[in-house]
Chain A
Amino acid sequence: MITHQITDQELVHHYVEGNEACLEMLIKRHKRKIFTTIYLIVNDRYIAEDLFQETFIKVIHMLKNEKYNEEGKFLPWVIRIARNMAIDYFRKSKRNPTITDGDGEDIFRYIELADENREEQIIRQQTEKQLRFLINQLPDEQKQVLVLRHYGDLSFKEIADLTQVSINTALGRMRYALNNLRKMMLEKEISLQ
């Protein structure tokens, strides 16, 4: 049997034609990548929620006004908007992204985690927190490439274009980021398993 998963482009097309459910499908498909990217840039869950919303307000506006023309590249397009939103946020607030640590755990998160047992929940949250802390220790240019490549799913070519460096520079930053993370994990005796 041949199964066919509807593409992002098809969903965008149907959404523009008026099918609201298609936006929900797009969000459901990509929300983790988009939100994690924003969260790791701003390092604050509440600001990340706001920026996620702002990002999609812009996405909706552009789609409904037929200003989207990047056929087949929906996710990289949204990630670019999200990344620019996060950078604008810091410009406006004149805050330093590496200093902020507003790691508030909100009630909705606990509701989502209600099915996990308490011990698993604590271990998972601790692991996430350690990893987030280490990612935030990286120099900004390394962190940016790591977040955009690993969580945002942008290619090295797309990252190079976005950050106005060569592909080799983007790759080099990724290499340093991975090596530095490994070093920090070994130093802090954090399990790599």
Chain B
Amino acid sequence: MPMNSTYTNDDLILYMYDEMEPSAASALGEELVKNPLLAEEYRKLKEIQNKLDDEHQEPNLTTVNMVMDYSASYHSAPEHHTE
């Protein structure tokens, strides 16, 4: 937990994922400029968040096409579809 600050790492995570109320986010943003220890904690969290973006996968085209085909044929044979 950052020293000399009322903010916790949970606050920093909420801020990082844009889940803080605008006024609270603005106050935390100002604190980050003034408090190097808090800024360092935030930098560490942000580094991991950025790293997580390296992993992004997509379904293959065949899978997407099968979904589209299923949708297009849905009205013609609704009795075959189960929930």
Which residues does A use to contact B, with CB under 8 Å?
20, 23-24, 27, 31-32, 35-36, 39-40, 45, 48-49, 52-53, 56-58, 60-62, 64, 106, 108-109, 112, 124, 127-128, 131-132, 135, 146, 149-151, 155-156, 168, 171-172, 174-175, 178, 181-182, 185, 192
22 A–B contacts, CB within 8 A, in A order = A20-B72, A27-B68, A31-B58, A32-B57, A32-B58, A36-B56, A49-B63, A52-B59, A53-B63, A57-B81, A61-B82, A62-B83, A108-B62, A128-B57, A131-B52, A146-B52, A150-B52, A151-B55, A178-B13, A178-B45, A178-B49, A182-B44
Is there contact, CB below 8 Å, between B17 and A27?
Answer: no
Given A61-B83, A185-B48; 4 other pairs, CB 8 A cutoff: A32-B58, A35-B58, A131-B51, A151-B56
Is there contact, CB below 8 Å, between B9 and A175?
Answer: yes
- The answer to whether residues A27 and B64 also contact, given A178-B13, A192-B48 and a CB cut-off of 8 A, is yes
- In the complex, which of the residues B9, B55, B64 contacts A128, with contact meaning CB atoms closer than 8 Å? B55
Give the nearest-CB partner of B78 in chain A.
A64
Contacts of A132 in B (CB 8 A): 55
Q: How far is the CB of B79 from chain A (nearest CB, A)?
A: 12
Give the nearest-CB partner of A35 in chain B.
B59
Which residues does B use to contact A, with CB under 8 Å?
9-10, 13-14, 17, 19, 44-45, 47-49, 51-52, 54-64, 66-68, 70-72, 74-75, 81-83
Contacts of A185 in B (CB 8 A): 48, 51
Give the nearest-CB partner of B64 in chain A.
A27
- The answer to whether residues A192 and B51 also contact, given A35-B57, A35-B59 and a CB cut-off of 8 A, is yes
Contacts of B59 in A (CB 8 A): 31, 35, 48-49, 52
Is there contact, CB below 8 Å, between B60 and A49?
Answer: yes
- In the complex, which of the residues A23, A60, A128, A175 contacts B54, with contact meaning CB atoms closer than 8 Å? A128
